[in-house]
Each structure stands twice: as C-alpha cells, then as structure tokens.
Structure 1
Amino acid sequence: MFRRFRRAAVAAAATAMVPMALALAPGAVAEPEVHAAPVNIEDFAITSEVPTLAELDAQIRLLVATPAPDWVKANQLEGGSRAVVVPKMIYRVGFFRPPKGSSVVTGPETHEPDRHTAVINASRQGSPTVQVVAEWRRIDGQWKLASKSLCNGIKTIGLPIPCNFE
C-alpha cells in the first residue's frame, strides 16, 4: 500500500511539474511580466522601420535574462557569434535578471534610417543603476545591438572581456 501511495505521489508531483518545465523550456517565458522576453525567442527579430522601446527592451531581455542558444543571441548582435560572449557572461553572473537584477530600455531616443539609440538601465541588488546609451543598427532589415554598445557596456560594468568583435 505504501508503494502505491508513493507511486501515486510521485506521479502527481511529476504531473504538477510539467507546466513548470514547459514554462522554463527554451522559447517560453517563466514569469509573465510586462517586460518579458518574447515567447518564441528563436524567431525574434526587430524588423519595424522604427523600433519601439518595447521591442528594444525585449531584445535586451532576450540577450541578458534568458538562456537562449548562442545562435539566437548572435542573431541579435551586430558582432554576431564573435560578440555572444558578452550577453552570455552577463546572463551567467545574473547581474541584470531576476531575482536580483533587472533591466529596462528607456528614452531619450534618436533615430536615423539605419541607426537608433536609447538608454539601457540595468540594476542589480545592492548596486546603483547602470545607464548605457546604446545604439542599434539596421542590418539586412533587422535591428541589432551595435558592437560599440557592447564595448561601452563592458567598460561600464568592468567585465574582463576584450572588445575585439567590432
């Protein structure tokens, strides 16, 4: 009888874990929130003529607050696969992702046909908010975070990463 109860308890626990596992699976959002990463991160691309703050914010969250595959992150960066080391390290150390950190993209913004700027505000528990004026470049119809912005972020945060992906 104990074994049957134990099996039933394990089965019930496993069934209860399925929604949680699906919520944490790549391409899904673990916590529904206003600034959540896109639901299908593998298809994420900012292709509008003028990117919105919400789109830029979602892209930054995809880069630094999700365990997205390298190729997905590379697709969001002007430096491509050479530049993935930066968001990977920021994600790994957890600077700007819940539960101890956060980020939000705000204005002021500037816009030119193939260049857009906004401010990335990133904070972590116990530290002041870091503000980086970031630039996005429109490459092949998609807005990508500029390499020069990654270099500015590396310097601002003090990461031990050479800026050699421009």
Structure 2
Amino acid sequence: MMRWCRGAAAALFAAATVPLTLAPGAAADPEIHADPQGPQEFAITSEVPTLAELDAQIRLLVATPAPDWVKAAQLEGGDRAVVVPKMIYRVGFFRSPKGSSMVTGPETHEPDRHTAVINASRQGAPTVAVVAEWRRIDGRWKLASKSLCNGIKTIGLPIPCNFQ
C-alpha cells in the first residue's frame, strides 16, 4: 500500500508540474491553430492581425484554463471583463469535445480597429456567428468590450455588460 501511495504521489506531482500550454483542437489547417507561444506571453502585436492570431486569442479566452491575468490582457475591459470568458470556459460552450470556435472573414481594418467573425458552435445548438471588433491598445490587439456584450446577449449569459 505504501509503495502505491508513493507512486501515485509521484505521478500527481509530475502531472502538476507540466507547464500550461494551449492545446488547440485538431484542425484541418494546423498553421491556423498553432500556438507559437505559451499563454503568458500571448499578444497580438502585428500591424494588421491575421485570422490565425485572432483565432488563437479567442481559443485562449474560451477554450483554455489560462489564468485571469492572462485573459484580462486580451480584453479591452481588462480585469472587469474576465468574467465573460471565464464563464464561457466553465460551461464548456465552445471547447472540445462538445463545442468549437473559429474566427473567419470577412474582415475590415483601420489603424486601431479590426473586425472579423467569430463562429462558435456547440453540440445540439446552431452555430452562432458574431461580428467582433478588436481594438489596438498600447500596441496590442484586444477584443473590444462591445463584442463581449454582443456575445453575452447572443448566447444569453446572465452577466451584466458593465465593463465598457
């Protein structure tokens, strides 16, 4: 019995010390869903964000257990807005195995504003397509608060939109 406990403890310790990485779901185009960085370093700083970057950001927000401060750095509303992606992650709406999301075009671009479409689906429900906006703040593209509010309304989450 003692030998089993030591073995189980060692296995738990080994599992707990594995670094957090984003593990996007399987996709037909692995480049779109690749994770070039760990979640703590994730930032979209390119002049014009790509669909792959925006898609990775949405997956970080709603399909990973990344820490609140990491998610807050991706949102225009910062700490005040983290409640939205946290709740979506907890209920598992748009993450494997029962759901998914993908950012697609059409896109529009201005120097500090970019739009694209977030397509989110979950088992037993129709796909939801939301035109989302990102804002460039301090050189980083962040999901706009008004897009979070549209998402709350679209999927019917009981969250007040008071982080704008």
TM-score of the pair, normalised by structure 2? 0.86
CA contact (8 A) 1:77 1:147 kept: yes
Whole-angstrom distance in 2 between the partners of 1:76 and 1:57: 12
Whole-angstrom distance in 2 between the partners of 1:161 and 1:100: 22
Whose radius of gyration is greater, 1 or 2? 1
Whole-angstrom distance in 2 between the partners of 1:72 and 1:63: 9
In the alignment, does 2:97 pair up with 1:120? no
Q: Which 5+ residue runs of structure 2 have no aligned equivalent?
A: none
Whole-angstrom distance in 2 between the partners of 1:103 and 1:22: 29
* Residue 32 of structure 1: how far off its partner (Å): 6.5
* Residue 29 of structure 1: how far off its partner (Å): 3.3
Superposed CA RMSD? 2.4
- The 5-angstrom pairing of residues 37-116 of structure 1 reads 39-116=37-114
TM-score of the pair, normalised by structure 1? 0.85
Deviations 1:51-103 (A, max 9, x none): 00000000000000000111100000000000000000000000000010000
Query: Counterpart in 1 of 2:130?
Result: 132
Deviations 1:110-159 (A, max 9, x none): 00000000000000000000000000000000000000000000000000
SS of the residue corresponding to residue 54 of structure 1 reads helix
CA contact (8 A) 1:29 1:38 kept: no
Whole-angstrom distance in 1 between the partners of 2:103 and 2:118: 5
- Off by >4 Å, runs of 4+ in structure 1: 12-18, 20-23, 36-39
Task: Judging by fraction of residues, say which structure has more helix.
Answer: 1
Q: Residue type of the partner of 1:126?
A: G
Deviations 1:5-33 (A, max 9, x none): x948x749956994x6566x42x134674
CA contact (8 A) 1:114 1:138 kept: yes
* Residue 36 of structure 1: how far off its partner (Å): 5.2
CA contact (8 A) 1:137 1:146 kept: yes
Give the 3 Å change call, closer, same or farther, for CA 85–44 of structure 1 in structure 2.
same
Q: Which 5+ residue runs of structure 1 have no aligned equivalent?
A: none
